[in-house]
Amino acid sequence: MALPSNYKKNISILPKKFGPEQREELLNQIMDNGTYLPRGVMAEDLDSSFIEFIKKDLEIIIDGEKIPVIFLTLQRWMEFSRTWEFTDKHKDIKIPFITIVRKPDIQPGTDQQGLWNTATRLTYNYFQVPTFDGIRKGVDVYKIPQPTAIDLSYEVRIFCNKMRDLNKMQVKVHQAFRSRQFYISPNGHPMPIVLDSIGDESPISDFENRRFYVQLFDMRLQGYILDSDEFQIIPAKNRSLLTYEINNKISKPIIRIKAEKDTSLITYNLIFKPLSDTVFTTTATFDMKFTTLVGLINITSLIITVNNNIVTTPFIVSIGDEITFTITKPGQLEGRFTLNGNLL
């Protein structure tokens, strides 16, 4: 049973991405080689990808057979035709076939909208990769140069005997370039091909010999080259693992007592160093009456107890009483205060 003419063999069930998601997908394709660097791309990579485009995307099948595609550079046609595998029993080339000739003059690229490259061969940060050698943590910076834009011109010709075969090629070409350009991906780098012109080179002067059609398609690949030899990996940051020994010993507060028997004045100066204990207990050596609390520095709270009883100024202590000071302060700051009183 014959299949309908519009029967589709290859149907994609995955939704096509657009916008930022499509750009991210293209970036992943460029890096899809197991490393953090993109794959380099040179002129021979562009040629291979263009030939693949002609063979697959412009594939023509006639009488169940694919039209062979021949890529020519500087070989002479007669030398190539003698060794070509697609010949008949008389060693003549069988028609139809497609030829690709790449012009040797590589032109400056036109895919940058008139903008030029930087004057020097600078490299730019492409990716940062964390590193760890068991001792130090760091970051390696992967750098690549700015790609060099180039234009490669190709002449694609189809040789055929029948107009319907020529029409198949025409339809394939126009469908491929209905959006102005067709994108190929040499080594994962998306690059556009533009159809510049279509010409006819069919021989019409000799009517006695066998007639055949020759259609010319001028195509231009707006690509760029990226030399992988210019890629750089530079260590950027290294962090050593440092250990510190912390002294857990907590210093005691300092108390300075000044007693004047002539005037009966007595002063308690208490100094709490950074990270010192915030509780201090002393024993009264005189009978005293404390009247004022002054000079609080970096002290957010203060509790005074005499023999475990909380007191506030003024208060009286006797010889042998235990006086406890409990403070609250920022641990990294020094706190102090002064108690003034009289001897009894």
CB 188 within 8 A of CB 34: no
Q: Let me know: does 140 contact 236? Beta carbons within 8 Å.
A: yes
> Quick check: 329 and 279 in contact, CB under 8 A?
no
What pLDDT sits at residue 152? 94
| pLDDT for res 132 | 76
Could you give the CA distance from residue 235 to residue 13 in angstroms, rounded to a whole number? 44
Q: What pLDDT, on the 0 to 100 scale, is given for residue 252?
A: 86
Structure confidence at residue 156 (pLDDT): 93
For residue 134, give the amino acid letter.
G
How high is the pLDDT of residue 175? 93
Residue 250: predicted pLDDT: 72
* Domains of the chain with CATH codes: 23-113+146-230 (3.30.2000.40), 254-343 (2.60.120)
Residue 42's pLDDT is 92
Three-state SS string across the chain, please?
CCCCCCCCCCCCCCCCCCHHHHHHHHHHHHCCCCCCCCCCECHHHHHHHHHHHHHHCCCCEECCEECCEEEECCCCHHHHHHHCCCECCCCCECCCEEEEEECCCCEECCCCCCCCCCCCCCEEEEEEEEEECCCEEEEEEEEEECCEEEEEEEEEEEEECCHHHHHHHHHHHHHHCCCCEEEECHHHCCEEEEEEEEEECCCCCCCCCCCCEEEEEEEEEEEEEECHHHCEEEEEEEEECCCCCCCCCCCCCEEEEEEECCCCEEEEEEEECCCCCCEEEEECCCCEEEEEEEEEECCCEEEEEECCEEECCCEEECCCCEEEEEEECCCCCCEEEEEEEEEC
For position 62, what pLDDT does the model report? 85
pLDDT tens for each residue of the chain, 344 residues long: 555 655 566 666 667 776 677 667 666 665 555 567 788 899 999 999 999 999 999 999 888 888 889 888 655 555 665 565 556 666 666 788 898 999 888 998 887 666 666 667 788 887 788 887 777 778 888 888 888 889 999 999 998 888 898 999 999 999 999 988 999 999 888 999 999 999 988 876 555 566 778 899 999 999 999 988 888 888 876 655 555 566 666 788 888 888 887 888 999 999 998 888 889 999 988 888 999 999 899 898 999 999 999 998 899 999 999 999 999 988 788 999 999 999 88
